[in-house]
Structure 1
Amino acid sequence: MAEPTTTNGVAPPIRPMYSRVLLKLGGEMFGGGEVGLDPDVVAQVARQIAEVVRSGAQVAVVIGGGNFFRGAQLQQRGMERTRSDYMGMLGTVMNSLALQDFLEREGIATRVQTAIAMGQVAEPYIPLRAVRHLEKGRVVIFGAGMGLPYFSTDTTAAQRALEIGAEVVLMAKAVDGVFTDDPRSNPDAELLTAISHREVIDRGLRVADATAFSLCMDNRMPILVFNLLVDGNIARAVAGEKIGTLVTTD
């Protein structure tokens, strides 16, 4: 990851634009492109989140499980969809516990809440309790997705953001934002800095899965798509700096 801009070796203070955010992290990034966890990546993400929390912003997190399990691949080999989805949910819990550990090493109180009961390792998902944790300056990580098959962690992020009263969904990716085309195959693809929910649909662009995107559009929830691989970008996103692509209703 690139180094953040500093002054005399000290990172500039953050002035958060948003008071409460939902951060969506892809599980694939936690593995550094491999199966399992890359502790250096998790530690870097934890440091960025800790910086934001110390600025006074409230942070909730949803993490995918793609670094442990890719359900679509096994479904192609004949595995039942519901079983593969539940296996994916367990992968998200492993990522959640890993991030909790690294956040607590940073001195940030963290709670994991899961949609499937796992009393020995996490709290059950209770929206009001999650909000109370956030108000006390704790990070809340939502694991096990929605606890139901056929729902992605993108949809979980949208639903949890709405239920806890987040002001924005911060969609962390391995690219700089939403492009006019796939930048990996089309070098002429242009980064869109701002776009409406409706225009995303009309142009056939992919921001999140259809259910998640519809939830955000119908409830006027903005989505900021940005590059997680640039160190300091989580803080920049929370501060309202012009990074990535902001998707809004208007």
Structure 2
Amino acid sequence: MHVTVPPISERVRGLALTAVPTHVSLDGTAHAARGGVDETGRPLLLVRPGEPLHALTGQDEAVVTVDLTATRALAGIDHPRGLLKVQGWAQAVPRDLLRDAAVTVAARCPDESLFAAVEGDPAGPRLFQVDVAQVIYLTGQESGLLDADDYFGTGPDPLLEAAEQMLAHVNESHRDQLHTALRTLLGHPVTDAWLWELDRYGATVRSGIEDPTLIRLPWPSPVTAPHALERALATLLCSHGRG
């Protein structure tokens, strides 16, 4: 059977990589959070003095839930793509991994206090990592739970970085072609269309503002390299655009 959408575990891992922590819950109380997600899928948190996690010492752990929010900016406005609730154990990042953790966080959440966190001063800002027990996901009309084995048992789409770059380029420069292609494909005009998702299995278009519709356009077969993804996207925009 031809696969037209990514496996949910792959999709969740991809959302996590492009998401930012918004809240962390500790002992039943939620607090604002800052940070990122490393390549393995573990949340990283930048914790300032006075915040609850900051008091953990040495190898101590705390049971936490980290809310990760993935968004897509369309015309300068962020629209939610998915919410992930990562439940697990927070622990201070080991000293030899502090610099790498800080670089990862800076990519999603630039903050001058990251410089101080790298110094490892226990009285200053600190970096924590979360070992994942399970992930609750809500994305579009899909919701469910992944245990750690399912979450870590797969990776994000291997073409994720290239796909995000291509998606941004289309939304910035080729929306007229996208509208024309959709009109040809669907047989009727489509209003306010944006490329919403792009992956090795196909593309998803978001149409409408108040009550948006998601339209899935699968490739004839999954693509395996960035150049093949670019070619599939160009075929979608150009061949249908000439119809």
Same fold (TM over 0.5): no
Structure showing greater Rg: 2
Richer in strand (by share): 2
| TM-score, structure 1 as length reference | 0.21
| TM-score, structure 2 as length reference | 0.21
